[in-house]
Amino acid sequence: IAGITQAPTSQILAAGRRMTLRCTQDMRHNAMYWYRQDLGLGLRLIHYSNTAGTTGKGEVPDGYSVSRANTDDFPLTLASAVPSQTSVYFCASSASISGGNEQFFGPGTRLTVL
Amino acid sequence: GQNIDQPTEMTATEGAIVQINCTYQTSGFNGLFWYQQHAGEAPTFLSYNVLDGLEEKGRFSSFLSRSKGYSYLLLKELQMKDSASYLCAVRDSNYQLIWGAGTKLIIKP
């Protein structure tokens, strides 16, 4: 693994189904983030984790949950998918939340909820 | 509320110079980032400004004025591969990034 990976690359999901998007980084970064990107809107933060064992809510957390059991993995779960959750989901990580530490992004998961 | 404004789309000619502006109103300020995003790909980091002034990195430069809530990204010697969206993001008082919707830059030969 090099950098940050996400799975699946894309998914079509029936409304009401449960779905977990996976994210793994091998850079030993402390902070990790989940964003959604919709046409015409900026990236919006769903949830974040400043360090393993802690998580926080971002701008649009409703309908999503996360866990951070270890440094490398940060899965995002949709408990019961709805069509408004159709979006491109990006996972990102950074060494820390402060300073000039840039966020590195995974390749994204394109999710369609029907 | 928090707000990041940047033009939706700009067009420029190969070899020319283009300036992409970003204005922001956020709760606190802990740095401003510019990212590049090619269609269908993930954003990649371009620059970071936390103090007023110009940061130069090769063909790309970024400027910040905290008192005016203003930044710009300057791209010189434009190449066709610079066709992409350019995203402005501000880290607020909670150390979360607030993102603009991005500026789609179209380069014409």
Q: In sequence order, what are the beta bridge partners of B22?
A: B71
| Residue to test with chain B: of A5, A89, A102, A110, most B Cβ within 10 A | A102
Identify the band that residue A98 occupies on the pLDDT scale cut at 50, 70 and 90.
confident
Identify the band that residue B1 occupies on the pLDDT scale cut at 50, 70 and 90.
confident
Query: For chain A, what percent of residues have pLDDT higher than 90?
Result: 89
Please state the rounded mean pLDDT for residues A51-66: 96
**Cβ atoms < 10 Å from Cβ of B50:** 15
A113 neighbors A13 (Cβ within 8 angstroms): yes
Among A40, A100, A103, the residue with its CB nearest the CB of B97 is: A103
Please state the rounded mean pLDDT for residues A76-91: 98
CB proximity B83 to A under 8 Å = no
Please state the rounded mean pLDDT for residues B30-47: 96
Identify the band that residue A1 occupies on the pLDDT scale cut at 50, 70 and 90.
low
Which chain B residues have a beta carbon less than 8 Å from that of A41?
101
b/e sequence A66-94, b meaning 16+ C-beta within 10 Å: bebeebbebbbebeebeeebbbbbbbbbb
pLDDT reported for residue A10: 98
